[in-house]
Amino acid sequence: MEKKEKILIVEDDKRIRNYIETVLKAAGYDVLISKSGSDAMGLVTSHCPELVLLDLGLPDIDGLEVLKSIREWSHMPIVVVSARTDEGEKVSALDLGADDYITKPFGTSELLARIRTAIRHTRSSNPEMFRSGKFVTGELTIDYEKRRVYVAGRDVGLTQNEYKLVSLLGKYAGRVLTYDFIIKEIWGPNMNTDNRILRVNMANIRRKIEKKPAEPQYIYTEVGVGYRMEDGESVSDDQD
Amino acid sequence: MKSNKFTRIIRNILITVGALSSASLICYLLMNIVQTDTHVPQIFILAILITAAMTDGYIYGAISSVISMILANFAFTTPYFEINFSFAGYPLTFITFLAVSLFVSWLMATKKKKDRIELEAEREKLRSDLLSSVSHDFRTPLTSIIGYASALTEDIALTDETKSALALEIKDDAEWLLKVLENIISLTRLSGGDAKINKQSEAVEEIIGDALIKIRKKYPAVTFTSDIPDEIMMVPMDGLLIEQVLVNLADNSVSHGNKTSRVSFKVKERDGSACFSVEDDGDGIDEKLLPNLFEGSPLNSHGSDRSVKSNLGIGLSLCNSIVKAHGGTMKAENLPGGGARVMFTLPMK
């Protein structure tokens, strides 16, 4: 068996920490524990874990500050654990560079799935995409060289902005991109954050690539947060 | 807060000035028509009355009676446009003006205080109703969670099958508690006076789409469908709250419909409003409950039957509060072929 992957849990509540620790150890991960933000920053530099599971409500430092300071020097995957009621917090965490978030309370399978996805993504950002210049999920193909999007082999005829939007989501497939992030990437930093234009573009895209816009198979909405592209095909090597 | 106080002062001054100048204008016009001044005090009394009733505190009414006195004396009684302190009824008129103003101000203040006390009492009652309903609603699943958990830990001979069934019950009850808790949080957020809803232009299909994913995950055995217009429909709303309404309604359809196998979300545009409906093929809603289904006295929904968990009250009154806060309306009916339909509208502008 290969070397165990190391995961740092940053969580001040003992019960939740125990729960996560039990689950992760059972799933074969090497687990590091930290009860506070300052502690966590030390462990991150000394142990370089494969992933950090970061609770945002810490006793000493704001979890978002911890996230910010890790992001200053490292791209290691960080999954944020947040309280259910605050959508704004999730958005800030994603905008500060968190790879994903998971809301309390969560089940075992959900937790493990998020962790696997986040680790896989940093190992190589879509190896298949690098090799072929294409992103494939289900019947959807994004051809980055030709700048075209196909569904079941048929060119769906996206406009330039629509293509930019889909290719951006494809590049970060499996991850939620916040509305602000998408708007800045596509319309530039000076665009005032008008969600309406993004909603309309997305609605048009869905009419071109999805069978039923209200039941999407490729691009999902996370209400109040952003959009997420279904993970790519290169996932197949992950079935264990 | 400060600017609010400032606008109130401006408003009070405007009312005072407005009432007095109207009174002066009327006196002036009448003076030219009827050539007498007997009506002057009555008209000024009226102005003082209006001022005292509509402004805050005693001060504006009192000021108004002083000004009225001077105006009446100076401009509208003989000799015109001259102050004349010597005419006979002068002190009496002034005292009458002042007395009227103070009395009316006092009456208004008392009434406002009484209204506030009543409102507070009503809120207090709502709060205690909610609290007692919540503690009842929480106690039942907590009892079962504690019961099952102790059965699992206290070394009673149980088959593995029973053990996993008990664990599943614990999970169900805990999830149900979470749902109630979320509803209560949203409800208190909305009824906390200034309802903080964050309205943005949202595409209806996205909200329905996300609601579908959530509810399908929860009830994999039930068929959930959607029927929305082909063209893009943008509606200003707090997306998360409306999604919560849809999920709550669909959840009710399944958990209270008993034999519900299909639930469909439908959206149509009608008269400048987006009309959402959630329809199911369950048992329908008890006709006795229909008339005040949303009036949210959570107390009347107590079923001690565990399968009919009594979240109906809180869940529906929450949905209703959310829709109302958006300026929409909500109603429920039974479908002729069986099943229930809950509809709500959201204004599109």
pLDDT tens per residue, range A135-178: 889 999 999 999 999 999 999 999 999 999 999 999 888 888 99
Contacts for A26 with CB less than 8 Å, ≥ 6 apart: none
pLDDT digits (tens, 9 = 90+) for A28-57: 999 999 999 999 999 999 998 999 999 988
pLDDT digits (tens, 9 = 90+) for A166-216: 999 998 888 889 998 999 889 888 777 678 889 999 999 999 999 998 899
- Average pLDDT over every residue of B47-68: 82
CB contact under 8 A, B200 and A221: no
* Confidence band for A84, pLDDT divided at 50, 70 and 90: low
pLDDT of residue B245 exceeding 70: yes
Q: Are A82 and A176 in contact (CB under 8 A)?
A: no
Q: What does the alpha-carbon distance between residue A79 and residue A53 come to, in Å, rounded to a whole number?
A: 5
CB contact under 8 A, A220 and B213: yes
Residue A43 φ then ψ, to 5°: -65, -35
- Average pLDDT over every residue of B204-226: 92
- List the single residue in A with minimal CA-CA distance to B199: A224
* Confidence band for B305, pLDDT divided at 50, 70 and 90: very low
CB contact under 8 A, B234 and A196: yes
- Average pLDDT over every residue of B117-143: 79
Amino acid (one-letter) located at B210? D
pLDDT (0 to 100) of residue B296: 54
SS3 content of chain B, % helix, strand, coil (to 5): 60, 10, 25
How many Å is the maximal CA-CA distance in chain A? 55
Q: Are A9 and A24 in contact (CB under 8 A)?
A: yes
pLDDT (0 to 100) of residue A53: 95
pLDDT (0 to 100) of residue B194: 54
pLDDT of residue B17 exceeding 70: yes
- List the single residue in A with minimal CA-CA distance to B214: A222
- Average pLDDT over every residue of B283-300: 70
Q: Which two tokens stand for residue B140?
A: 């039942």
Min Cα separation A72/chain B (Å)? 32
Min Cα separation A223/chain B (Å)? 6
Whether A83 has its CB under 8 Å from any CB of chain B: the answer is: no
B205 → closest Cβ in A105, A195, A213: A213
Q: Which of B22-26, B171-175, B298-302 has the lowest mean pLDDT?
A: B298-302
* Confidence band for B294, pLDDT divided at 50, 70 and 90: confident
- List the single residue in B with minimal CA-CA distance to A207: B230
pLDDT of residue B346 exceeding 60: yes
Whether A105 has its CB under 8 Å from any CB of chain B: the answer is: yes
A84 → closest Cβ in B182, B200, B202: B182
Domains, chain A, ranges and CATH?
Answer: 6-123 (3.40.50.2300), 127-235 (1.10.10.10)
pLDDT (0 to 100) of residue B299: 41
* Confidence band for B49, pLDDT divided at 50, 70 and 90: confident
B232 → closest Cβ in A203, A212, A222: A203
Q: What does the alpha-carbon distance between residue B19 and residue B16 come to, in Å, rounded to a whole number?
A: 5
pLDDT (0 to 100) of residue B308: 41
* Confidence band for B80, pLDDT divided at 50, 70 and 90: low
Interface of B with A (CB under 8 A): 174, 178, 182, 185, 200-203, 205-210, 212-213, 226, 228, 232, 234, 239-240, 243, 265
CB contact under 8 A, A204 and B232: yes
pLDDT digits (tens, 9 = 90+) for A62-74: 889 999 999 998 8
Position with higher pLDDT, B148 vs B38: B148
A176 pairs with which residues across the strands? Answer: A228
pLDDT (0 to 100) of residue B87: 58
SS3 content of chain A, % helix, strand, coil (to 5): 45, 20, 35
- List the single residue in B with minimal CA-CA distance to A85: B182
Residues recorded for chain A: 240
Nearest CA-CA partner of A167 in A129, A212, A200, A207: A129
pLDDT of residue B93 exceeding 60: yes
Contacts of A215 in chain B (CB under 8 A): 209, 212, 226
CB contact under 8 A, B226 and A215: yes
Q: What does the alpha-carbon distance between residue A82 and residue A164 come to, in Å, rounded to a whole number?
A: 30
- Average pLDDT over every residue of B285-313: 57
State chain A's mean pLDDT as an integer: 86
pLDDT (0 to 100) of residue B330: 92
Q: Which of A99-103, A123-127, B118-122, B242-246 has the lowest mean pLDDT?
A: A123-127
- DSSP one-letter code for B274: E
Contacts for B328 with CB less than 8 Å, ≥ 6 apart: B273, B344, B345, B346, B347
- List the single residue in B with minimal CA-CA distance to A222: B210
- Average pLDDT over every residue of B182-194: 71
pLDDT (0 to 100) of residue A236: 41
Domains, chain B, ranges and CATH?
Answer: 2-117 (no CATH), 198-347 (3.30.565.10)
Amino acid (one-letter) located at B269? E
Min Cα separation B295/chain A (Å)? 25
Mutate to test the interface with A, among B170, B181, B202, B205 (most CBs of A within 10 A): B205
Contacts for A231 with CB less than 8 Å, ≥ 6 apart: A117, A137, A173, A174
B206 → closest Cβ in A87, A204, A221: A221
Q: Can you tell me whether residue B307 is helix, strand or coil?
A: coil
A223 → closest Cβ in B178, B182, B206: B206
State chain B's mean pLDDT as an integer: 82
Nearest CA-CA partner of B64 in B94, B37, B32, B38: B94
- List the single residue in B with minimal CA-CA distance to A106: B175
Whether A195 has its CB under 8 Å from any CB of chain B: the answer is: yes
Contacts of A206 in chain B (CB under 8 A): 205
The H or E element spanning position B28 is helix B2-34
pLDDT of residue A125 exceeding 80: no
- How many CB pairs below 8 A link A and B? 58
User: Looking at beta carbons, which pairs linking A183-189 to residues 24 or more positions away fall under 8 Å?
Assistant: A186/A161, A187/A161
A223 → closest Cβ in B182, B243, B265: B243
pLDDT (0 to 100) of residue A80: 93
CB contact under 8 A, A85 and B205: no
pLDDT of residue B304 exceeding 60: no
% pLDDT > 90, chain A: 48
Q: What does the alpha-carbon distance between residue B28 and residue B76 come to, in Å, rounded to a whole number?
A: 7
- List the single residue in B with minimal CA-CA distance to A199: B203
Highest-pLDDT range among A12-16, B60-64, B197-201: A12-16
Mutate to test the interface with A, among B177, B206, B240, B268 (most CBs of A within 10 A): B206
Q: Which of A32-41, B93-102, B235-244 has the lowest mean pLDDT?
A: B93-102
B330 pairs with which residues across the strands? Answer: B344
pLDDT digits (tens, 9 = 90+) for B246-274: 999 999 899 888 889 999 999 999 989 99
- DSSP one-letter code for B241: H
Q: Which two tokens stand for residue B244?
A: 């919560």
Report how far apart the first and last C-alpha atoms of chain A are (Å, whole number): 13
* Confidence band for B301, pLDDT divided at 50, 70 and 90: very low
A85 → closest Cβ in B185, B210, B213: B185
A223 → closest Cβ in B185, B201, B239: B239
Min Cα separation B23/chain A (Å)? 52
CB contact under 8 A, A220 and B210: yes
Q: What does the alpha-carbon distance between residue A171 and residue A142 come to, in Å, rounded to a whole number?
A: 10
The H or E element spanning position B183 is helix B160-191
Position with higher pLDDT, B307 vs A72: A72
Mutate to test the interface with B, among A223, A227, A228 (most CBs of B within 10 A): A223
Report how far apart the first and last C-alpha atoms of chain B are (Å, whole number): 29
Q: How far is CA B130 from CA A183, B122, B323, in A?
A: 42, 12, 20
Q: Are A94 and A68 in contact (CB under 8 A)?
A: no
pLDDT of residue B276 exceeding 70: yes
Nearest CA-CA partner of B183 in A55, A224, A16, A84: A84
